[in-house]
């Protein structure tokens, strides 16, 4: 097995299973290293309702967002990690500029999940409708395999139905009887 050092240089990383995926955890600080793509998989398996939310932090790197240089290093190529602030949250994520993966401090994954859950509950039904339309256009034009896009779209519709249920009980009856959701 490959031996890797913690990006904080305070210990070794050890493989463990987290949210059904394989990650590397530091025995000293309990920070976790996720190879590229693994963070999104862990987030998806934590809460199905959050699948549709954008979580490709590597997009931020591609778009050349303002980033700070971290004192931590990538366990794979040992280059300095970049600190990204995820969306409008206060969460800072260390990511390898060469796309090897991301490092989360202890409890940071939980913070991301509660931030996303809060986003779902605080979004109005109007915004959900916009997201549903955006998802639909992704189904037609998106780069992801169609099956996965359709699943995201159904998730948005389901959340939209739940949201409407709270606001207008008779509309939610119509939504819940759409053939796509049965």
Pick the binder of Zn ion from 39, 73, 84, 96 (CB under 5 A). 96
Quickly list DSSP for the chain: ---EE-TTSSSEEEEEEETTEEEEEETTT--EEEETTHHHHHHHHH-GGGTTS---HHHHHHTT---EEEEEE-TTT-PEEEEEE-TTSS-EEEE-TTSSEEEE-TTHHHHHHHHHHHHHHHS-HHHHHHHHHHHHHHHHH-SS-HHHHHHHHHHHHHHHHHHHHHH-HHHHHHHHT-GGG-
Min dist CB 7 to Zn ion, Å, is 7
- Does 74 bind Zn ion (CB under 5 A)? Our answer is yes
Selected range binding Zn ion among 52-60, 90-98, 135-143, 166-174, rule: CB under 5 A: 90-98
Cβ proximity to Zn ion: between 99 and 142 the closer is 99
Q: Judged by CB, which is closer to Zn ion: 10, or 54?
A: 10
Q: Which of residues 99-138 bind Zn ion (CB under 5 A)?
A: 100
Q: In angstroms, what is the minimal distance from the CB of 29 to Zn ion?
A: 3
CB of 11 to Zn ion, least distance (A): 5
Question: Residues 3 to 32: which contact Zn ion by CB under 5 A?
Answer: 6, 8, 10-11, 26, 28-29, 31
Query: Which positions lie near Zn ion, rule CB under 5 A?
Result: 6, 8, 10-11, 26, 28-29, 31, 74, 76-77, 96, 98, 100
């Amino acid at each position: 097995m490959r031996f890797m050092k913690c990006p904080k240089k305070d210990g070794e990383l050890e493989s463990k299973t987290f949210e059904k995926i394989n990650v590397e955890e530091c025995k000293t600080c309990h920070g976790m290293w996720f190879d590229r793509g693994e963070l999104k998989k862990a987030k998806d398996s934590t809460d199905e309702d959050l699948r549709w939310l954008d979580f490709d932090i590597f997009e931020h790197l591609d778009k050349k967002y303002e980033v700070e240089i971290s004192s931590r290093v990538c366990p794979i190529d040992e280059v300095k990690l970049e600190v990204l602030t995820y969306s409008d949250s206060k969460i800072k994520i260390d990511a390898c500029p060469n796309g090897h993966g991301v490092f989360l401090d202890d409890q940071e994954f939980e913070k991301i999940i509660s931030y996303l859950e809060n986003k779902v509950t605080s979004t109005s039904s109007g915004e959900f409708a916009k997201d549903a339309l955006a998802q639909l256009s992704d189904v037609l034009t998106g780069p992801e395999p169609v099956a996965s896009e359709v699943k995201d779209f159904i998730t948005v519709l389901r959340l939209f139905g739940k949201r409407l249920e709270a606001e207008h009980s008779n509309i939610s009856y119509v939504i819940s009887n759409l053939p796509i959701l049965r």
